[in-house]
A and B are shown apart, each in its own frame.
Chain A
Amino acid sequence: MQAQSLTFKRNAKEALNDESLKSALSNVKSGFIGKRAAAVALVPEWQQIREEARVMKNHVLENLDHYLLAYERAVQNNGGHVHWAASSTDASQIIVDICRDAGARTVTKGKSMVGEEADLNSALEAAGMQPIETDLGEYIIQLAKEPPSHIIAPAIHKTKEQVSALFHEHHQQYGLHEQLIDRTALVNEARTVLREKFVAADVGITGANFLIAETGQHILVTNEGNGDLTSNLPRVQIVIVGIEKVIPTLEDASCLLRLLARSATGQHFSNYTSLMSGPRRAEDADGPEAFHVVLVDNKRSEMLAGELREMLRCFRCGACLNHCPVYGAVGGHAYGWVYPGPMGSVVTPAMIGIENAPDLAHACTLNGRCAEVCPMSIPLPSLLRKHRRQTFEKQLQTRKARYGLGIWSALARRPGLYQLITRVGVASLSLLGRRRGRFKRLPLAGAWTQARDLPAPQGRSTFMSLYRQQKK
């Protein structure tokens, strides 16, 4: 997809005025947050498991290439093919070629964020194939021709009325002529239509949650079972996955699985957790005839080198999105690319260039909730601060913001002058505001007073003058 991150501010403003989006986003708060907290509370060992996961994943990142080579050998032993893609465009090309060689006409897909990075659907369509998303949320947004707005609930911005209208518009060809109103009917409609697609598909493409170097298996986690139908039914199975998803052994997988579902949906375990390896065995009665995995770098090795290495521990659970007040207000589309919310604000500039997404790191109140709930203990606010520093150094912010910061930093380095100015400032505000006790309008604080009054300081003391008094 064409990145729209450059216009974050405009996107966000539009989102804030979208009433149906506001109603849809209220489901994030009521659903995800409480369920996660309840699920985590039932595991007294939570912090210990989380810490071990962090240490394990750091060990993997320090030896990433060794583990990738071990995984590659194991996949080949299982009869599968391993492909490497330096960029997301290369990944799409590799997959298009595999599909073409297989004579594919229809391709079913499980939800894959790496597939979104690669804009895989467009590439398959351009090559004359029909890609069909099978995760219900992903199917809905495919009909709507929209990008996902949440990494685990891609259609969270849609109300059921909007889903109903989409099915009414697109399912006439399957004999649907009425307007479905209840959720169960909508889910059944999608089930019926997609069932035919599952059975007819020539190739199935999914992502993977983890790659196991020890055995060459990949793990795929879903609730709908669409990932398994996509993997098991077609002649050819393709997995597209980022290189950072490799882990050493099955024991490491169970450690991460204990964190994943609880952090993502508040379930103690997802409905379908599947470990798969290679094509069908000689004696098997079902399964694909060929198995391919495409390992995608797409800037991940650059992140490994730099200040963002810790971001590569991310396993895409979405907890940071769910707990982010900015995401909760503007939704996912405002971020303008594949990954929204805190993790997106870190990853997007690294993948599409900070000059194409200069505002994302600033769309953060540094409240720290994301880092608190992150099961992989990624210090998201510090990583965002690193991006902020870069946008300042590269002069990517507005001139007003840069001058403002310049003046503030000059003052902050001259404590005497700083204290003098704050004393004068507080005294005059207190004097001017003594009658009403608040300001309706104030120069330089227009953005603040537009939405609320600024309270006038009570008395003339600054923090430093009080501090000095107390110390005596």
Chain B
Amino acid sequence: MAAANDNPKEAPPKEDADKDSKLILIAEDDPFISRMYQIKLEGAGLRVIVKNNGRDAFEAIRSEHPSLALLDINMPELSGLEVLAALQSDGFDFASMPVIVLTNSSELSDRNKAHSYGAEYLVKAELTPREVLNMIAAKLGMEQSTP
């Protein structure tokens, strides 16, 4: 599909990187992939916490209040969808935090479940880290503008 762009058209907000920068949670059990996104997002001035299992990711969301969460589905302890379910039963307000479910399994049922929590559902292999970053930026930009 879209070829990797040499020149990013949309640059993520790089100013106020440390004090006011957004916190992104990456829940991903494959260290190569989590590291890849981490590099790309931090390069764009975002703060990142990485959790390699669902339970830790759930705890982190409750304690750290990240601005956005990237959730893998197939993870130890709790799957990404189970994390969402646990959050919902915990009374979590999904409107306060956009969720992007990033997975390589493309089961339609998984996608429908993700959508039911208001989460975006994307296939990792079809996106480059930059495209993921662009999507996060778009989400956060919209979130910022609305309240």
A and B are partners in one complex rather than unrelated chains: no
Chain A interface (Cβ within 8 Å of chain B)? Answer: none
Chain B interface (Cβ within 8 Å of chain A)? Answer: none
